[in-house]
Structure 1
Amino acid sequence: MQISSPVSKTTLWIGRVMSALPALLVLLSSVMKLMKMAAVVEGFARTGVPERLIIPVGVIELACVIIYVIPQTAVLGAILMTGLLGGATITTLRIGDPTYPMPVVLGMLAWGGLFLRDTRLRELIPLRKM
């Protein structure tokens, strides 16, 4: 396996900021669901998802964020968030919601940020110069 060079401070901070954006947005989404805010209840009704699933989805989102922000489990967290965001993407596409790119962008930020801050991931997925 190729040994990657250490992450520079600039790259590390760019990765942290990129990682923080999806983590904070999914955390906000989770809190809104756990509080059963009116906008969430309306959104679930609009997408055809039963209201009884609001709290479980909020708990799943919260678990994904917690696992993602812990450095030792960040790769697992990114995998779990990818599944979560994939479900969000298909749900918004199914109803014709124009916000469908948002979960895709969040997933790209989550993985891009993790790639920039985690040398283990760089070793697994090396970028090659052309």
Structure 2
Amino acid sequence: MSISETASLSPRALWTGRVLSAVIVLFMVFDGVIKLPPLDVVTQTMVPLGWPADANVARMLGVIGLISTALYALPRTSVPGAILLTAYLGGAIATNMRVGSPLLSHTLFGVYLGIILWGGLYLRDPRVRALIPFSR
């Protein structure tokens, strides 16, 4: 299937992809921005997860998340951004697994975000649809 064949997605599917991607971008911007000051609630929440209550660690995680999100939001760099965000979410999943967080609400939350992230990108980017063709 060529890119031109996969580009003929309905406007409804394209807008669904944009909305899914916007949800991820908004969530990740919020997540990154609260780590920059960083708020006390952020550093204190990191301790039970095995991270130090260190403002620099929180800040670095925020910067990594925001850069990855910016790359994802820009059409030219959306695929590398999605890969970086997937890695970021994988770290969150691993952290929650290691400390025994509840499976469905905490540990798999990164998986849910990853599905929305890649689903949105799949619906809005013909290059991704050409790379991962689902047969009808």
Pick the aligned partner of 1:63 from 62, 67, 91.
Answer: 67
Output the amino acid matched with 1:112: G
Aligned to 1:80: 84
Q: Deviations for 1:35-67, whole angstroms, at most 9, x for unmatched residues? A: 211221111111111223111111000101100
Aligned residues: 129
Residue 105 (structure 1) aligned with residue 112 (structure 2): yes
Aligned to 1:116: 123
- Structure 2-normalised TM-score? 0.89
Q: Distance in 2 between matches of 1:121 and 1:90?
A: 26
Q: Could you tell me which runs of 5 or more consecutive residues in structure 2 were left unpaired when the two chains were aligned.
A: none
Local SS of the residue matching 2:101 = coil
Pick the aligned partner of 1:16 from 15, 18, 34.
Answer: 18
- Structure 1-normalised TM-score? 0.93
Q: Distance in 2 between matches of 1:19 and 1:29?
A: 15
Pick the aligned partner of 1:38 from 40, 44, 50.
Answer: 40
Q: Deviations for 1:90-113, whole angstroms, at most 9, x for unmatched residues? A: 101111122111111001100000
Q: Percent identical across equivalent pairs?
A: 40
Q: Could you tell me which runs of 5 or more consecutive residues in structure 1 were left unpaired when the two chains were aligned.
A: none
Output the amino acid matched with 2:90: G
Q: Which moved more, 1:64-73 or 1:95-104?
A: 95-104
Task: After the TM superposition, list the runs of 4 or more consecutive aligned residues in structure 1 that deviate by more than 6 angstroms.
Answer: none
Q: Distance in 1 between matches of 2:23 and 2:107?
A: 17
